[in-house]
Amino acid sequence: MSEQGIEKARALAIDLGVSVEYFTKMAIDGTLGQERREEIVSPDELIKPIINSFYPKDIAEIGVSPGFSRANNKIYFRPDELSIWSGINGHGKSQFLGQIALNTIDQDQKFMIISLEMRLDRVLNRLFRQISGMSQPTEEYIKAIANFYTGKLFLLDHVGSIKKDYLQSIMQTAVEMYGVKYFLIDSLMKCGMREDDYNEQKDFVDMLCNFKSYFNCHIHLIAHPRKAQDESMSPGKLDIKGTGTITDLADSCFSIWRNKKKELNPENHIGRPDCFFNCTKQRNGEWEGSIPLWFNKESFQYLDYERKRPQQYVEFSTTEEKKK
């Protein structure tokens, strides 16, 4: 490079506010902008992913369904997405997401639950009720369920706050060693941040976004809502406690709302749903709205219709077990 070229490079580095020595060296070596050039592409280099976005062929491209008939072709949990879940305390968001985990595994995907608010024996007690479709599965049935989900369902044995870097390393291990592609983190407030530290919250959600993109996985994150005056309305994406960046960065936002009025006066709400599964944001989908569901108290399952019977995710007899 000529002296004139070097001087121009130095002047440009000063204008840009970058290291003059480093910038000039790259200019002399001919490597200036090389990394950036590799990231700049034209449409013809992306033909395959463009076609796949119009004509997805499998779950790896289209994502998994929530597992409810009214959500079919409306909601998908896609690879490379972060979903934020909210709901009033006691309205069943963690319980609902347990069933989402089972429905995801039912579509041949591996799922990891990171429950930082509840002991694993209690988490699994609830899950096994949902799996069996009954309130009191036999000991043999419990063993059969545990055997069936080995290598499909993974859990982190940790209750309480967790550091961001440790959480990331655990998730990376789950992806690389066990092939996990779907995660549930319950909840944001247990991830080592103060409620009023918006910068830390943004950094944490940024980390999750980078992780789900790099490993092409889906992350469900529970984020509690701000306190409301009453429980008559479901919280929306603007009601999430903390910085607004949480929902800005999310690909999808969902909430679970329980019909408490029906519970107090069932005779005045005959035929009305027990709860609603709400979609308030879906960046990669075209549908937003509410899906009515009914709750079965024996199995803890959420059902499409009031008279629908709970399913058994693992059928069982004294001689054999098989997947339904």
Q: Tell whether the model's pLDDT for residue 87 goes beyond 70.
A: yes
pLDDT above 60 (res 35): no
Name the residue ranges covered by the structural domains of the chain: 3-40, 59-323
The strand order across the sheet containing 182-186 reads 153-155, 111-115, 182-186, 218-222, 81-86, 252-258, 275-282, 289-296, 301-303
CA distance readout (Å), 1 to 14, 24, 171:
19, 10, 48
Lowest mean pLDDT among 211-220, 240-249, 259-268: 259-268
Comparing 22 with 266, the larger pLDDT belongs to 266
pLDDT at 232: 67
The predicted structure's pLDDT at residue 14: 72
Closest C-alpha to 223, from 208, 236, 239, 240: 240
User: Tokens in use for 52?
Assistant: 């796949």
Mean confidence (pLDDT) of the chain: 88
Question: Which residues, other chains included, contact 70 with Cβ-Cβ below 8 Å and sequence gap of 6+?
Answer: 291, 292, 304
Q: Which residue has the tokens 């709302």?
A: 257
> What average pLDDT does the segment 246-260 reach?
95
What DSSP string describes 17-86?
A: TS-HHHHHHHHHHT-TTHHHHHH---GGGGHHHHHHHHS--SHHHH-B--S-GGGTTT--B-SSEEEEEE
Indicate if the pLDDT at residue 37 is higher than 70: no
Question: In the structure encoding, which two tokens stand for residue 302, read together?
Answer: 């959420």
Q: Tell me what the mean pLDDT of segment 6-20 comes to.
A: 69
Residue count of the chain: 324
Q: Which pLDDT tens digit goes with each residue over 188-209?
A: 999 988 888 899 999 999 999 9
Percent of the chain with pLDDT over 70: 88
> ∠116-118-123 over CA atoms, to 5°?
115
Residue 5: what residue type? G
Confidence of residue 319 (pLDDT cuts 50, 70, 90): very low
Which pair of tokens denotes residue 314? 């693992």
Q: What is the CA radius of gyration of the chain?
A: 24
pTM of the model: 0.84
The residue ranking higher by pLDDT, 48 or 145, is 145
State the residue for tokens 């985990």: 101
Nearest Cα neighbor of 235 from 77, 42, 23, 91 is 91
State which fold the 59-323 domain adopts. Answer: Rossmann fold (3.40.50)
